[in-house]
Structure formats: structure tokens, C-alpha cells
Amino acid sequence: MCCDDKREGTNSPETDSIQTKQFLLDQRYLKMASIWAQNSYCKRRQVGALLVKDKMIISDGYNGTPSGFENNCEDENNRTYPYVLHAEANAITKVAKSNNSSDGATLYVTSSPCLECSKLIIQAGIKRVVFYDNYHHDDGILLLKKANIEVLQVEIDN
């Protein structure tokens, strides 16, 4: 006997436990995104993103240069090259190359999306965005909310 945790007679309504479950999932996927960010060659800032749909990771991304480019994100003055792709853009374009669809997916990203990425998120049909680090201006977040995308900031302990 392993799994009898006295589900009957509990005071918490079912919706509560569904919400708790979702919160734990959100936290864990965000943690995975933060680990994934370590793949980035960028020195100034490492950002990771995961696209999750029906509890499956359908895509991933971290900030970096396009395929075939050198893995340097910054020039000698430590300025980020304009052709560096953000983690969200990499995750969305990667799923575009696959047989999966981002329609209805949740995006987990370590930093709040910028305005440019937010446009892509809207057009990709992503319905939820979960992040933990408030880095960019909030114009991206405001755009997402305007498009009725659920935006959630979640704390993760490292």
C-alpha cells in the first residue's frame, strides 16, 4: 500500500488542489528553464525558455546567435550583437521547424519577455507565460495582457 493519502474527508476543495498542483508544475518547469539557460554562451545574461503543452515539453530555447554563427553573443565592448536571438524567439522558431504546434502552449521563461518576443508569443498562439525575473521594461508584459494571455510571475528557490 503506497498511495492512500486519505483523499476523502479533506477540507480543501478539489479546485484548490488543482491550483496547488499547477503552481508546483509551474515552479518545476521554471526551474528547468533556469537550468536550460546555462546552455547559453552569452556572458552578460543567460535566459532559458521552455514551451509546454499537455504536460509535454515541445520546445526549448536559450539566448544565442542564429545557427551557423559563432557562439559569441557580445562584441569586444561587451555589447550584445543585434543578431542574437532571445530565448523565447529560439523556442518559438524551434517549434516552427518541428511537427509540434505552439498553439495553446505555456511558455516558461526565466526573464519577463521583451516587446519583440511578446509579439511572437501572441502570434504563436501561446496562452500562458510564466516567468520569475523582472528584467525588461514591462511593455512586453502589458502587450501580452492586452492580448488576453495569462501572465504569471512565480518565485523559484535556487
Q: Which of residues 16-55 bind Zn ion (CB under 5 A)?
A: none
- Whether 154 contacts 29, CB under 8 Å: no
CA distance 149 to 131: 13
CA distance 36 to 60: 8
CA distance 69 to 67: 6
128 in contact with Zn ion (CB under 5 A) = no
Nearest-CA neighbor of 137 among 113, 107, 105? Answer: 113
Stretch that binds Zn ion, among 11-19, 36-44, 62-70, 115-123 (CB under 5 A): 115-123
User: How many residues would you count in the chain?
Assistant: 158
Task: Report the residue from 58, 84, 117, 141 that binds Zn ion according to the rule CB under 5 A.
Answer: 117
Instruction: Give me the catalytic one of 88, 116, 150, 155.
Output: 88
* Residue closer to Zn ion, measured from CB, 26 or 113: 113
Task: Report the residue from 42, 58, 114, 143 that binds Zn ion according to the rule CB under 5 A.
Answer: 114
Task: Report the residue from 37, 86, 91, 109 that binds Zn ion according to the rule CB under 5 A.
Answer: 86
What is the total count of residues that contact Zn ion (CB under 5 A)? Answer: 3
In this structure, what C-alpha cell is assigned to residue 140? Answer: 512586453
* 88 in active site: yes
The cell 516558461 sits on which residue?
A: 108
Active site (catalytic) residues: 88
Which residues are near Zn ion by CB under 5 A? Answer: 86, 114, 117
